[in-house]
């Protein structure tokens, strides 16, 4: 009846909350949440922190895994091997940052790789003009690394779609110094990653390739990796 809600405050006790929803309905609600929200819930009450009976996963973890399965099945996310100590919520965060898209990635914000919870650790970095050697990579990349990421980071805030003349971006206002210093405007013009044995595999003999155009059958998730000693 009109006005019943206002005249009967006891109806407040009848409205459903997350804690009163059944498990199936609760999972549907959680599957609409992003990774940040799921992580926050996983640190809240025992309803969300304890594993579900017979499941071994908490409700936020089950919701994150359900979302990831759909992304993997549709091809929106490339195959990914989760680490033993890694949560499904963390993998979902990678997807939300655009890191699970197949192929070479363009203009990936620095914080998507170096941000808290990204899972990536810097093993080696050097200016473009530095002549990186095989020893540099072999010594820097941990032997137990599951994946290796290669990226070209623009320190000027330029993007891969910018037009250049004589090495300078044309018609594109670059970020000011303050914005560059806090890192929020920095991005990887190009970025690709794959399994360690794929990315660091020697694909050309020492005398087979001298630079320039080449072909490689060393393919993973839409990216051809090549390396010659």
Tens of pLDDT, residues 57-93: 999 999 999 999 999 999 999 999 998 889 999 999 9
Q: Which residues pair with 216 in a beta bridge?
A: none
DSSP lists the bridge partners of residue 191 as: 105, 151
Predicted TM-score (pTM) of the model is: 0.77
pLDDT tens-digit profile, the chain (229 residues): 444 445 555 545 555 566 677 788 888 999 999 999 999 999 888 888 888 776 789 999 999 999 999 999 999 999 999 988 899 999 999 999 999 999 999 988 888 888 666 778 889 998 888 888 889 998 999 999 999 999 988 776 566 655 555 555 555 555 555 555 555 668 888 999 999 999 999 998 877 776 677 888 999 999 999 888 7
The answer to whether the CB of 107 falls within 8 A of the CB of 159 is yes
For the chain, give the number of residues: 229
Angstrom distance (rounded) from CA 164 to CA 121: 32
Chain-centre distance for alpha carbon 132: 26
**Helix 35-42 crosses helix 88-96 at what angle (to 10 degrees)?**
160
Residue that is written with structure tokens 């309905």 in the block: 25
Task: Supply φ then ψ for residue 57, to 5 degrees.
Answer: -125, 145
């Amino acid at each position: 009846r009109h006005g019943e809600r206002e005249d009967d405050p006891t109806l407040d006790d009848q409205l459903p909350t997350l804690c009163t929803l059944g498990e199936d309905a609760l999972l549907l609600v959680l599957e609409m949440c992003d990774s940040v929200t799921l992580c926050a819930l996983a640190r809240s009450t025992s309803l969300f922190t304890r594993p579900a009976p017979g499941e071994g996963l908490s409700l936020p973890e089950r919701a994150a895994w359900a979302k990831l399965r759909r992304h993997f099945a549709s091809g929106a996310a490339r195959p990914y091997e989760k680490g033993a100590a890694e949560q499904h919520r963390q993998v979902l965060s990678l997807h939300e940052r655009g890191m699970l898209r197949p192929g070479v990635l363009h203009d990936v914000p620095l914080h998507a790789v170096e941000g808290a919870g990204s899972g990536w650790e810097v093993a080696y970095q050097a200016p473009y003009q530095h002549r990186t050697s095989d020893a540099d990579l072999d010594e820097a990349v941990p032997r137990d690394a599951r994946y290796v990421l290669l990226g070209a980071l623009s320190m000027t805030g330029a993007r891969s779609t910018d037009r250049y003349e004589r090495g300078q971006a044309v018609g594109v206002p670059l970020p000011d110094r303050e914005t560059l210093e806090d890192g929020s405007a920095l991005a990887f013009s190009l970025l690709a990653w794959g399994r360690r044995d794929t990315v660091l595999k020697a694909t050309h003999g020492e005398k087979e390739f001298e630079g320039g155009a080449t072909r490689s059958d060393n393919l993973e998730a839409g990216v051809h990796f090549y390396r010659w000693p």
